[in-house]
Structure 1
């Protein structure tokens, strides 16, 4: 593959000019608030400090819990906070630059004391989840991590492929398969509200896409959960991304400019009223269209695409700071099309003369209100409006150059969502959450496909209207002893479309064996709606227009047992055993059929189904992590597992995601190469055993080469070649007196191995077998970031 890279000359000019900057040594600014984790009340007089070249610099919080650290030399820093009656807080390593003031909202946890015994609990680490009700299979991640790990390119989904239990399978997409589950089992949440799939080029029935709509300029530290999550999370059976926006700078205006092979970003932030309110906004415009014109196609040589997005967060509070508000939003549009092969002499399979148009739009905006009731409780209420539209149009071209529409799909899902969650810490030390979450859906699902046998268009999905999803939960956490942390909850779900419901108990426990070792356990019942278009499959009988309308919620029992060992400063090893039992999975009501809806990677159902299928996932995840220290950072994860399903015949078969083995190593090293300059090198190695696929029927070549019949008697008995990819990264950062910049080059698939794309496969009638498309070779991603 010939590599062509276009670099904006204006940024090269700035880069060269910045070498001539002189003056005082660059310094950075840090500000923030220190609050009680359970009541969000400010902690007055907390001691905030950091160490610079052996010298301690510090500040004390004021009556609003606010602190400032000014004129701090740039570079790697860590903040420590102490306050009487609270566990000490230590931040992870972060990069302080001269281009942007850093803001921290530090939540401190009350100490657990017991008369007659001194017990030292393990210190919180960089990756511990922000949600302290979460005890297993979860971690937090920072914006900097989405940047510094090779080929993550500021995308939470691309970072998550290195987390334990995740099975990456495609270069160009971020579909997250967790522990043998379909990507449709993930729930995305932003600022406490469940939102549609926040990815450009999002696929129907999936939770991933090509590129995240989230902007690195707005994201704050967020959580990723991979199973047995607490009761406040619903409508998910495999994982949750709990995303948060940071607030803008409340003291001065600042700007960030990013330019790279994927697009141009411009972010702005600053105070509306100094010290009390702020704004933060980012706009991104894709340069992929320009690259396509230059003959550079990152997804496929016949595929062109472009996108743009915007994100914002406006925050303010009243004079007493008891009423805090956030007006936030995110939105993106993306367009993709594929043309037919220009050389008709090369037409061999159906996809050679197939073309398509693929459009996706997504948006969500909300208003959140936090009311600090007293020193033991607070209430967070939110209202949001959101929507998503996904449209596919597939055409085929005849030898006479006539174009025919063969598949037309529309997915529209608009929602109004409400959420109200009450938090309280009781006198006995029990932490309590009680909440209600409701959404009203306005939907329009449509699919029409050409039947080549009957020579007519066939309506497959057709439904429009509105319905609601109502959810409520109660959740409690208790430390009966400094070594014990217990969490229990109950969630109820009601889907008004067909009155299906679920009552879901959740329980978790963590026991500190020492100040370095923890045993954990969690159990929970979880449920999720069927991918919504599947409810509106058109029925073959006039008296039953929607045979799938009564499909039940898919339910899942999660069991997880874990062990965590912080065996040396900055190092952590983890081990988790898990078992998952799925029920009510839609299948065909025929003992001779083995179709199971959750085997779909990106689609709705196309035929009548019943909620009688079962599934079983079991395995072991192993993790070794080096938190950023002395310039070194690393995550090594490995999984051994089985994923099976059971249709009506009572036999167990491998699922579409039963690759059985997966492993990822990602990390790097950073060092100072000169005063105020640093260099970072990173690498990522991904291995996943090949996914199994359905074999072809013996009559495939004689019936239909466009949609050949499959051999359901032996489902998923063919395994494609293993997926293997190596990514590299080099990044150079420089701080100047009034700005800072970062120049980075990520090489995705640096070894240029052309992995098989199992989704983009087609039947070759001459060979009477599947023919697979191959994914791209080495893909350079050059980026330049300027903060000022």
Structure 2
């Protein structure tokens, strides 16, 4: 974001993985987004699948403006203005009241969050500028133990109480010197994740404790780069260094072949460094463009200090035949440090057991064509292929870490080896039609495969992300009298899933350890759900007054009432089937719960801008 790395942009994120149901970033503050799915800029490190590069608006240098929004789930206030002629500001703060809403809906978990953003930009002189950026989120999720019913019983059996705080603060200094620009970026990011879970949510005894986790990730980064504009060439070179600190205190009940307790404490410091250089070229007639770059990264963890093992070249080329037709392609190799949750994991003796992990690697390539029949209409087609290597593989389940999916809590805190491989390939079609101030329509279809294997000797099988196709269509229609209507259709292929291990799940010690069923990973992703489609509609009406604007909107999610079917969940009845057997052999009577969700969700919102 404006050159500052933001590792966590979602509320209720899974530590050690990506994801999270709500973004911390307020879209009202964004000027533009560059989404790179390949040929990542050489000054962007640690990316395997994509880079999301935000550029925020600058504050208003002429006036002070503010915007307040009251929606179904949150209230927010944002503003833009200036302190003086040289310094502008931009800010946003949001407070949700999901706890109240979810309690009214009778849900067994009650999430709540607060987030804030601020950007201050100062022109120190005609050739120097300083930018300060901050982003923060606070999350709390309580359990609604008063809620009854089988679905609530299942969720309450394994969901922990969650408290998370995350923030990033950073500053960038930029000096303009004719054809050259020097930039320095200094930033610090922080994540504090705390989970607590008691068996049957009974906190009266510590014997019922199944999970108590407090884990903190911090990273301080410094990057310096120079950009030179030399006729048709743009050159960029730079260096960066960072220090990461990971602390973890975890007590967790587990079940592998028998019941056990994982109790360890970690305090890990990691130095990382990198350097990069790139060159962009545009022909005098603007028809041919090219970019070539290379970077190398290393860290002092394990055997990752050898920079020549993480040399990361990338190349992209483009050519416009005329104003209507153009082609382009890219290829590159990229590396990413394994998650801190894996690097800091210890065994019962307090020894770091994942010190042999390597940087995860991906080789990515794509080629595509664009067609613009006129200024309002655009079509594109792109084929892509990505091959992943050195993926951390779970020694307990023999499943790659990337294929375990995202859930509340932590990912990667287990014994791993860098032996798994993966591949994804497919084709994407995109169409856009725009009539200024009237109609805007966009549609995309991606048909793909996502597969993995444990090692080179194994065969590829579907990964957790192998939906096969994704279709998205969206549009807005500006009507007279300041009305507008928008809609979105999402249609996605069925997700593969793994059946449950009934024998293991029914064991009393196994169920009590995690409060949910265990999957049979010998049958990994041998089943598949049905396809799912959803239609959302939104209607806006704006009223303009002398110095302020009032906006009212109605948002209807899932207007078709589509039902998302999930695999039936295996659930303990709480009744022991063989109470006279030894404890290690006792089993619960089990039952299945149907998992089907989906309903029309109406939202009425008010926006005031002044």
State TM-score, norm by structure 2. Answer: 0.88
* Contact 2:143–2:156 under 8 Å retained in 1: no
SS in 2 for 1:534: helix
From 563, 581, 596, the counterpart of 2:387: 581
1:615 corresponding residue in structure 2? 422
Cα distance in 1 for residues equivalent to 2:245 and 2:203: 42
TM-superposed CA distance for 1:755, in Å, is: 1.6
2:108–2:156 contact (8 Å) kept in structure 1: no
Contact 2:475 2:487 in 1 (8 A): yes
Match of 1:527 in 2: 335
Does the 8 Å contact 2:170/2:187 carry over to 1? yes
CA contact (8 A) 1:341 1:347 kept: no
TM-fit CA distance, 1:596: 1.2
The equivalent position to 1:783 in structure 2, one of 589, 605, 609, is 605
Q: What's the counterpart of residue 548 of structure 1?
A: 354
Q: State yes or no: 1:304 paired with 2:110.
A: yes
Asked if the contact 1:351/1:762 (under 8 Å) is kept, the reply is: no
Structure with more relative contact order (C-alpha pairs < 8 Å, separation 6 or more) = 1
Q: Deviations over 1:550-591 (max 9, x none)?
A: 21010000010111111232111111111111010112469x
Could you say if the C-alpha distance between residues 642 and 782 of structure 1 is closer, same or farther in structure 2, counting changes exceeding 3 Å? same
1:728 & 1:481 partners in 2: Cα distance?
Answer: 46
The answer on 1:291 being equivalent to 2:101 is yes
* Equivalent pair of 2:561/2:600 in contact (CA under 8 Å): yes
State the Cα RMSD in Å.
Answer: 2.8
In the alignment, the residues of structure 2 paired with residue 215 and residue 433 of structure 1 have an alpha-carbon distance, to the nearest angstrom, of 31
**Whole-Å separation in 1 of the counterparts to 2:49 and 2:380:** 19
Alignment of 1:662-673 (within 5 A): 662-673=470-481
The Cα of 1:511 is off from its aligned counterpart by 0.9
User: 1:761: Cα distance to partner?
Assistant: 5.2
In the aligned structure 2, how far is the partner of 1:554 from the partner of 1:619? 22
2:577 aligned partner = none
The residue number in structure 2 matching 1:687 is: 491
Contact between 2:95 and 2:115, CA under 8 Å: does it hold in 1? yes
Q: Is the 8 A contact 1:594 1:715 kept in 2?
A: no
Cα distance, 1:627 vs. partner?
3.5
1:417 pairs, out of 217, 221, 235, with: 221
Q: Which moved more, 1:601-610 or 1:694-703?
A: 694-703
Q: 1:464 to 1:781 in 2, by over 3 A?
A: farther
Per-residue CA deviations over 1:5-49 (Å, capped at 9, x if unaligned) read: xxxxxxxxxxxxxxxxxxxxxxxxxxxxxxxxxxxxxxxxxxxxx
| CA distance 1:248–1:394, change in 2 (3 Å) | same
The aligned counterpart of 1:484 is: 288
1:268-301 CA distance string (max 9 Å, x none):
3322113x221222222223244346x146xxx1
Structure 1 segment 558-573 matched on structure 2, within 5 A: 558-573=364-379
What residue in structure 2 maps to residue 142 of structure 1?
A: none
| Preserved CA contact (<8 Å) 2:34 2:53 | yes
**1:221 and 1:417 mapped to 2: Cα distance?**
24
Equivalence for 1:435: 238
Q: Distance in 2 between matches of 1:252 and 1:401?
A: 57
Taking the TM superposition and a 5 Å limit, the aligned residue runs for 1:472-511 are 472-480=275-283, 482=285, 483-500=287-304, 501=307, 502-511=310-319
Quick one: distance in 2 between partners of 1:406 and 1:213?
Answer: 30
Unaligned runs of 5+ residues in structure 2 are: 574-587
Match of 2:181 among 367, 378, 402: 378
Deviation of 1:607 (Å): 3.4
Q: What is the match of residue 739 of structure 1?
A: 548
The Cα of 1:215 is off from its aligned counterpart by 2.1
Find the residue that maps to 1:397 and give its secondary structure: helix
Cα 1:281/1:512, change in 2 over 3 Å: same
Asked if 1:322 corresponds to 2:141, the answer is: no
Structure 2 vs 1, CA of residues 736 and 396 (structure 1 numbering), >3 Å: closer, same or farther?
same
Is residue 512 from structure 1 mapped to residue 320 from structure 2 by the alignment?
A: yes
2:138 matched residue in structure 1? 333
Deviations 1:601-652 (A, max 9, x none): 2242343221111111111111111245251112111111111111135221
**2:37 aligns to what?**
226
Match of 1:170 in 2: none
Deviations along 1:143-176, one digit per CA (max 9) or x if unpaired, are: xxxxxxxxxxxxxxxxxxxxxxxxxxxxxxxxxx
1:710/1:464 CA distance change after superposition, 3 Å? same
Deviations 1:313-346 (A, max 9, x none): 1111134x101111121111011122336448x5
Paired residue total = 581
Secondary structure of 2:163 counterpart? strand
- What residue is the counterpart of 2:585 in the other structure? none
Over 3 Å counting, the alpha-carbon distance change for 1:456 and 1:717 in structure 2 is closer
Offset, 1:680: 0.9
CA deviation string 1:676-698 (max 9, x = no partner): xx111111111111211222336
Greater fraction strand: 2
The Cα shift of 1:773 comes to 4.0
Q: Is the 8 A contact 2:341 2:413 kept in 1?
A: no
With over 3 angstroms needed to count, the CA separation of the structure-2 counterparts of 1:769 and 1:690, relative to structure 1, is farther
State which of 461, 471, 475 in structure 2 corresponds to 1:653: 461
What SS class does the counterpart of residue 341 from structure 2 fall into?
Answer: helix
Q: Distance in 2 between matches of 1:532 and 1:212?
A: 22
Deviation at 1:457, TM superposition (A): 6.2
Contact kept in structure 2, 1:339 and 1:355, CA below 8 Å: no
Greater shift in the superposed pair: 477-486 or 233-242? 477-486
Q: 1:224 to 1:348 in 2, by over 3 A?
A: closer
Query: Partners of 1:198 and 1:536 in 2: how far apart?
Result: 23
TM-score normalised per structure 1: 0.69
Alignment partner of 1:394 is 2:197: yes
Instruction: State whether structure 2 residue 533 is matched by structure 1 residue 724.
Output: yes
Mapped contact 1:341–1:353 kept (Cα < 8 A) = no
> 8 Å contact 1:762–1:772 — kept in the other structure?
no
Looking at structure 2, the residues matched to 620 and 701 of structure 1 have their Cα atoms a distance apart, in angstroms, of 40
Aligned residues of 1:389 and 1:412 also touching (Cα < 8 A): yes
**Residues 347 and 244 of structure 1, relative CA distance in 2, 3 Å threshold:** closer
- Alpha-carbon distance in 1 for matches of 2:200, 2:216: 28
Distance 1:358 1:252 in 2: 41
Q: Distance in 1 between matches of 2:542 and 2:321?
A: 42
Supply the distance in 2 between the matched residues of 1:750 and 1:247 (Cα, whole angstroms).
37
